[in-house]
């Protein structure tokens, strides 16, 4: 059964470059990004892992723990990590799972057999502090992901969780947001005392809340 948004992220225990990861214990109370890439020592993956390492302060600022998954062996991760540091200017600074048996990859449907029977596609799962899946994205092996977009979605998800606002098309941090339909005008008055712009009763625009 595919994992859907709103499902509890399945738990697992697996070796990583930073020791054994008990997933639910590891992410306890935090947001998390779990992402797979097809293979060590491949060009697109090398750029993705280097860029994700550079984004570590951005993930930390948002209370997000990052976890990479590879179906390659733990002993191969070290050599590749050195290549990532040399070519991308950033050392691996988050755990990389060694899912040699594809246990987690199968659990999370990261293997798409009509593409390849063993290699994972580029999956991203964003998981909330309640351990529920908030976002899933899948990219083919040949297309590097946009990790700035992953951060943008996390900003949107965290705004929704904290302030009951949604984010409109192509929204960027700092731009106006939308009061979610579940908030009545009466409730909105105390949540947004500076008011909002009502384009339609169902389309209420408000300044992005801070804090």
Which are the catalytic amino acids? Answer: 45
| 53 binds ligand BEZ, rule: CB under 6 A | no
152 with 173: CB under 8 angstroms? yes
End-to-end CA distance of the chain: give it in Å, rounded.
Answer: 38
| 45 binds ligand BEZ, rule: CB under 6 A | yes
- The binding track of 24-43 with respect to ligand BEZ, each residue x by CB under 6 A or -, is --------------xx--xx
Alpha helices in the chain (DSSP H): 23-27, 43-54, 56-61, 74-88, 103-107, 147-163, 185-191
Residue selected from 117, 142, 170, 190 as contacting ligand BEZ according to rule CB under 6 A? 142
Q: Please say which residue, 41 or 149, places its beta carbon nearer to ligand BEZ.
A: 41
Residue selected from 141, 150, 179, 188 as contacting ligand BEZ according to rule CB under 6 A? 141
Q: Please say which residue, 142 or 184, places its beta carbon nearer to ligand BEZ.
A: 142
Task: Pull the structure tokens for residue 177.
Answer: 């947001």
Q: Which residues of this protein are in contact with ligand BEZ, per CB under 6 A?
A: 38-39, 42-45, 141-142
């Amino acid at each position: 059964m595919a994992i859907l948004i709103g499902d509890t992220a399945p738990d697992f225990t697996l070796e990583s470059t930073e020791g054994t990861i008990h997933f639910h214990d590891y992410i306890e109370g935090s947001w998390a990004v779990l992402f797979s890439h097809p293979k060590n020592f491949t060009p697109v993956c090398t750029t993705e892992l280097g860029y994700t390492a550079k984004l570590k302060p951005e993930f930390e600022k948002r209370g997000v723990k990052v976890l990479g998954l590879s179906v390659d062996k733990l002993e191969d991760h070290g050599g590749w990590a050195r290549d990532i540091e040399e070519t991308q200017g950033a050392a691996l600074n988050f755990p990389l799972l060694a899912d040699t048996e594809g246990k987690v990859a199968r659990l999370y449907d990261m293997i798409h057999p009509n593409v390849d029977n063993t290699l994972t596609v580029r999956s991203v799962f964003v998981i909330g502090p309640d351990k529920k899946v908030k976002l899933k994205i899948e990219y083919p092996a040949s297309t590097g992901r946009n990790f700035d977009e992953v951060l943008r979605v996390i900003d949107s998800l965290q705004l929704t969780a904290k302030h009951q606002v949604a984010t409109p098309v192509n929204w960027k941090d700092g731009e106006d947001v939308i009061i979610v339909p579940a908030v009545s005008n009466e409730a909105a008055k105390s949540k947004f005392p500076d008011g909002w712009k009502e384009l339609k009763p169902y389309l209420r625009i408000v300044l992005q809340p801070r804090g």
